[in-house]
Structure 1
């Protein structure tokens, strides 16, 4: 499965994605609002990539974002009804995640029976919250101390997008 936009190719993960994924997932700034610590070494990224390859083969819903032949991020249905996205820092604030998700969201609703898509975001991640609002997601609630990462508790803001009628 492959989706395309004006600037992007949204595709399944491949074994040769390891170095680009490690560059993304080992960057502390990129991982600041993620649900795990930055990857300390390539073996952590390799395990995640191996799992992602198998998951995509079974259910092609979480995509690699490729731009001009380079892997720059990931986006799609992360688990259950929850979407997620991450983008290499050098590509922030260029509308890339919005562009990717504008292709992925209709695909998800067309290929699943999900009544809604949800997102769980660190309340301090204003950029991601803004992207989600721009895509039509609305806040449903907040919760305290939902993630314990690196000895620090983080809160969550939850958003949802209902299936179009």
Structure 2
């Protein structure tokens, strides 16, 4: 899943771009929020160092060819307010996981949906992807609805699938197949 240059995605209101160390402070704002982090399998971030580690992870998945994560920004100000992207690419099977998070200040405005749609289209149009997968905690109703609105189908419950924050988490498996989406730009 190598890309020559980091792709910038543009929607009506958003610019999805590469996150840089200069974005660490704005990322810390939402990644330190318990409400944002409660279903991510991570403790709320405590420092700029935590945000810089997250940015380094974004860079590493691109370098390794296992994923890509865009910073979500509003066109008018360019500040990172969330992220959306792919991880755990399995080239042999043409599948990849997709996920997103967004600052609480921007919930219920259609921003996550707009970003997710752009990333879905990029994946199916530009990568050799047949199947997108989203793993969502059962208590995360908002994410379930977000992905269902994009056409994802709930396939089942993966019991004790991940061990995070000192506990085992069940996760719903959602999927979207390439032929289920209209890929017109």
Question: TM-score, normalising length from structure 1?
Answer: 0.91
Residue 42 of structure 1 pairs with residue 48 of structure 2:
yes
Structure 2 residue ranges without an equivalent (≥5):
1-6, 90-95, 181-185
What is the SS of the residue equivalent to 2:61?
Answer: helix
What is the SS of the residue equivalent to 1:29?
Answer: helix
Moved over 6 A (4+): none
Partner of 2:36: 30
Partner of 2:85: 76
Deviations 1:29-69 (CA, angstroms, capped at 9, x unpaired): 11000021112322222111122134346657321100132
1:151 aligned to which of 158, 162, 166: 166
Residue 52 of structure 1 pairs with residue 61 of structure 2:
no
Q: How does 1:57-68 map to 2 (within 5 A)?
A: 61-67=68-74, 68=76
When the two chains are superposed, the root-mean-square deviation of aligned CA atoms in Å is 1.8
1:99 aligned to which of 90, 114, 118: 114
Structure 1 residue ranges without an equivalent (≥5):
none
Separation of aligned partners in 2, 1:51 and 1:124: 26
What is the SS of the residue equivalent to 1:62?
Answer: strand
Question: TM-score, normalising length from structure 2?
Answer: 0.82
Q: Is the 8 A contact 1:147 1:155 kept in 2?
A: yes
Separation of aligned partners in 2, 1:40 and 1:78: 24
Aligned residues: 165
Q: How does 1:120-135 map to 2 (within 5 A)?
A: 120-135=135-150
